[in-house]
Copies of this chain bind each other. A is one copy, B any other.
C-alpha cells in the first residue's frame, strides 16, 4: 500500500481541484482522503491547492452533527466510539471519526492504531476514521481538524465525531469546533465526584459513566446518580441546561439508545433557541482571530536572521542589559524592515 505522501508526489502534476471536489461531493473515499492529505501537508503548493479546494466545497458544508468526545485516558473513549458509531451506521447515518491531540502536536497518530482501536467501525463502508494530524505551522492540529470536518461534511457524512486523545486543555479545544460535548468518565477514577473538575463538568453537555457492565454495573449506576446530585449544586441557567448523565456499556450496549436520544433532544433544543448557529458563528470568529494570530507569528519567525536576532536580544534581556519592551520593539522593527525589503 502506498502512503498518502507518495501518492501525492506521483500525481502532483495531475492534481486537479475540480476532479477532487467532484469526487468528494460524490462521497468517494479516495478523493476525501486526498483532500485531507492536502490540507494537512506542510508544503506550500499543497496548501494552496487545499485552500482552493476548501473554497469550492464550502457551500456543501455545515450540515453534520459535530460531536465532541472527551474524558481521561482509560475512560473507554475508543470502545465507546466504536460501538456508538456502529449503532449510528445501523440507523442509516454516515459517520466520520477525527481525532485531535493538541498535547503532542509533533507526533504522528498511527492509522493502524486508530483502526485497531475501533475495530467494528473500521470495517464499515459508511465510516471514515482519520487519526490526529501532526502540528506543524499555521494553526497545526486545530486548523487541520477543522478543515477535515468541512471536507467530511462535503463528502456527505452526517455525524462527525471528534475525539480528544491527549490530556489537559483538550475540553476547550473540542468545544471550539463541535456542537455538543460528551464527557466520558469511569467509576473509581477519583474523577467522578468532588474530584472531577467543576470546569470540565460545566462544559460537558452530556456526561456518560462508561463500563457499566459485569460487576461494575451497580457502581456505574450509583455513580450516575451521585453525579446528578453533584450537578444540581452548580449554578445553572435553567433546569434544562443541566447536563444529562448516563451510564453505558460498550459491551452490552446498555445506555446507547438513551444517549442518542439525548443528543437529538439537545440539538433540537439549541436549534430552537437559536444557540446552534450562534455557537457555530462564534467558532468561526474565534478561528479567524486565532488563525490570523498564528499566521502573524509564523511570518515573523520565517524572516531570515530574525531567529538569530531574537536569541541575541533575549540574551541581553536575560542578563539584565535590555528592558523587555525595548527588545520586542527592536524585533518588531527588524520584522517591518524585512517586509519592506521584500517589495
A105 and B285 CA atoms in complex are apart in Å by 22
Tell whether A92 is near chain B: CB-to-CB under 8 Å: no
Q: Are A292 and B328 in contact (CB under 8 A)?
A: yes
A193 and B150 CA atoms in complex are apart in Å by 45
0/1 per residue, A134-167, Cβ < 8 Å to B?
0000110001001100100000000000000000
Q: Are A291 and B51 in contact (CB under 8 A)?
A: no
Query: Contacting chain B: which of A112-120, A261-269, A314-322?
Result: A314-322
A342 and B299 CA atoms in complex are apart in Å by 19
Contact of A325 among B139, B318, B336 (CB under 8 A): B139
Which residue of B has the minimal Cβ distance to A323?
B54
A331-B58 CB under 8 A given contacts A284-B317, A325-B138, A336-B339? no
Contact of A332 among B195, B296, B313, B325 (CB under 8 A): B296
Tell whether A297 is near chain B: CB-to-CB under 8 Å: yes
Q: Are A325 and B54 in contact (CB under 8 A)?
A: yes
Tell whether A88 is near chain B: CB-to-CB under 8 Å: no
Tell whether A326 is near chain B: CB-to-CB under 8 Å: yes
Residues of B within 8 A of A342 (CB): 336, 340
Min CB gap A300→B, angstroms: 6
Contact of A324 among B195, B287, B314, B335 (CB under 8 A): B287
0/1 per residue, A294-315, Cβ < 8 Å to B?
0111011000000000000110
Min CB gap A188→B, angstroms: 16
Tell whether A214 is near chain B: CB-to-CB under 8 Å: no
Tell whether A197 is near chain B: CB-to-CB under 8 Å: yes
Which of A138, A146, A328, A335 has the largest number of chain B CB atoms within 10 A?
Answer: A328
Residues of B within 8 A of A287 (CB): 324
A320-B58 CB under 8 A given contacts A291-B325, A295-B328, A325-B291? yes
A positions within 8 Å CB-CB of B = 51, 54-55, 58-59, 61-62, 138-139, 143, 146-147, 150, 194-195, 197, 281, 284-285, 287-288, 291-293, 295-297, 299-300, 313-314, 317-318, 320-329, 331-332, 335-336, 339-340, 342-343
Q: Beyond A54-B326, A150-B323, A339-B339: 5 further Cβ-contacts under 8 Å?
A: A58-B320, A288-B314, A293-B297, A296-B332, A336-B342
> 12 A-B Cβ contacts within 8 A?
A51-B323, A51-B329, A54-B326, A138-B325, A143-B324, A197-B197, A285-B318, A288-B314, A291-B325, A291-B327, A292-B328, A295-B328
The 8 closest A-B pairs by CB, nearest first: A291-B328, A292-B328, A54-B323, A194-B194, A287-B324, A281-B318, A340-B343, A339-B339
